[in-house]
Amino acid sequence: QIDDCGQLWVLDSGNNNAFGGTANPSRIVCPPQIVIYDLRNNNRLVGKFRIPSSMIANNTLLVTIAVDSRQRDCSDSYAYIADSIFYKMIVFNLRTQQFWRINSILFFPYPDFSTFNVNGVSFDLMGGIFGLAIGPEFRGNRRLYFHSIDSVKQSWVETEDLRNQSLWQNNMNAAPRAFHLFSGTRSSQSAAATMTKDGIMFFGLIGSNEIACWDTRTRFTRENIVSLAKDDAALQFNSGIKVYGNKLYAATSRLQNYINNRVPENEVNYRVLVGDVQQMTSGTRCQVDFNSNRFNLDEYTPDSESAEFPMGINFTP
């Protein structure tokens, strides 16, 4: 992810063959780390920050990173990292170069949605927290929106809770009620997510080969989730998505074929697609206005509840 200072944050998972299955299981081959480059200064290496071994496990799979930068020089930035297989979140403070780990039952897979079907190809995947998107700053705080890949639900947490290292230092389960679950659902599982500065979230719908959006100032319901693009060839398994400037970048991987060891060598399997955000959202419920600084949650109607009593979870991790 590129922060507000033009620095590219790269998450190196250290993982080899992440979806190799039982015949060729994934494994950590080098220490996971965050690598930062300054794109405005000849791509200068800012630093490499290894994630401590105490934060990871043999089956760890670090999949996404969301960067929270607020200072003009981005010196006190935080990064939130999703571990989709160990079902944890790792937080990193750039200023102190400290890491800490956080747990919530909302980071776990939802077993009812562990079977995926993409263009008639099915596979099973027990994947937890995956999609991360940081909302705009409002009254000095931000929300981190997150979801498990094995789910159709959406959750959120105030970043001021995640940034409080002392809260989690001795107990990664210290604040279960800090995490909230919306009552609504999307129509399909989703992997990565991204957010505009206006509070519009973009994400893929894996089961229907679509890119969709949602205005985070509205209730999380099917009616407020807008399909922006559908393509049964080009949008198979959207695994990465980012907004930069006025462009939406989406990466697709046809992961269903890789997991089933059936990758066709004579076809295009990996794509990066680019769209104009304003054109894509024009006239929809999540229309983006890059000339507006508006973001107000005062009239926001809560439709979420504490993670201590989550809706739609049929098991206790």
Stretch 225-244: mean pLDDT = 96
Instruction: Provide the 10 A C-beta neighbour count for residue 229.
Output: 18
- What backbone torsions phi and psi does residue 281 show, to the nearest 5 degrees? -100, -5
Task: Kindly state the greatest CA–CA separation across the chain.
Answer: 53
User: How is residue 37 written in tokens?
Assistant: 């480059």
At 124-133, the pLDDT tens digits run 999 999 999 9
Cα–Cα distance, 237 to 157 (Å, whole number) = 26
At 2-39, the pLDDT tens digits run 999 999 999 999 987 776 655 566 677 889 999 999 99
Residue 134: the pLDDT is 97
- What backbone torsions phi and psi does residue 206 show, to the nearest 5 degrees? -65, -45
Cα–Cα distance, 98 to 55 (Å, whole number) = 11
Residue 70: the pLDDT is 85
Domain with CATH 2.120.10.30 in the chain: 103-317
| pLDDT at residue 313 greater than cutoff 50 | no
For residue 92, how far is the Cα from the chain centroid? Answer: 16
User: How is residue 82 written in tokens?
Assistant: 């999703």
Cα–Cα distance, 139 to 66 (Å, whole number) = 20
pLDDT band for 315, please (50, 70, 90 cuts). very low
User: How is residue 34 written in tokens?
Assistant: 């965050």
At 170-179, the pLDDT tens digits run 999 999 999 9
At 84-114, the pLDDT tens digits run 999 999 999 999 999 999 999 999 999 999 9
Overall CATH class of domain 103-317: mainly beta
Q: Percent of the chain beyond pLDDT 70?
A: 89
Are 252 and 246 in contact by the 8 Å Cβ rule? The answer is no
Residue 299: the pLDDT is 47
Comparison of pLDDT for 48 and 31, the residue scoring more:
48
Cα–Cα distance, 166 to 169 (Å, whole number) = 5
Residue 296: the pLDDT is 57
Of 100, 122, 104, 102, residue with least CA distance to 113: 122
Residue 307: the pLDDT is 43
At 285-294, the pLDDT tens digits run 999 876 665 5
Residue 71: the pLDDT is 84
User: DSSP labels for the chain?
Assistant: -B-TTSEEEEEE--EESTT-TTTS--EE-S--EEEEEETTTTTEEEEEEEPPGGG--TT--EEEEEEE--STT-TT-EEEEEETTTTEEEEEETTTTEEEEE--GGGS--GGG-EEEETTEEEE----EEEEEEPPPBTTB-EEEEEESS-S--EEEEHHHHT-HHHHSS-TTS-GGGEEEES---SS----EEE-TTSEEEEEEGGGTEEEEEETTS--SGGGEEEEEE-TTTTSSEEEEEEETTEEEEEE--HHHHHTT---TTS---EEEEEEHHHHHTTSTT---TT------TT----EEETTS-SS--S--
User: How is residue 43 written in tokens?
Assistant: 């791509």
Encoded amino acid at 307, one letter: A
At 190-201, the pLDDT tens digits run 999 999 999 999
Stretch 139-148: mean pLDDT = 95
| 23-27, 178-182, 304-308 — most confident range | 178-182
Q: What is the pTM of this model?
A: 0.90
